[in-house]
Amino acid sequence: MELKDFIRDTLRKHLKDAVSRCKVLEQENALLTYQLEKREEECPESH
């Protein structure tokens, strides 16, 4: 494997990993937003 192929494959893996982490963070953010909205509905005087 040539160096450029190795670099390309490594960059692809890093990009795939970064996209995966981003999707997980987006899901976590959506869950936290939902939980916050539910809590505000239950206790409107607390915010």
Which tokens sit at 29? 């953010």
Residue 44: band (very low, low, confident or very high) from pLDDT cuts 50, 70, 90: confident
Is the predicted pLDDT of residue 47 greater than 70, yes or no?
no
What CA dihedral angle connects 24, 30, 34 and 37, to 10 degrees?
Answer: 130
Q: How far apart are CA 11 and CA 19, in angstroms?
A: 12
Residue 45: band (very low, low, confident or very high) from pLDDT cuts 50, 70, 90: confident
Return all residues near 47 (Cβ < 8 A) that are at least 6 apart.
40
Is the predicted pLDDT of residue 46 greater than 80, yes or no?
no
Query: Per-residue pLDDT tens for 1-30?
Result: 799 999 999 999 999 999 999 999 999 999
The answer to whether the CB of 39 falls within 8 A of the CB of 32 is: no
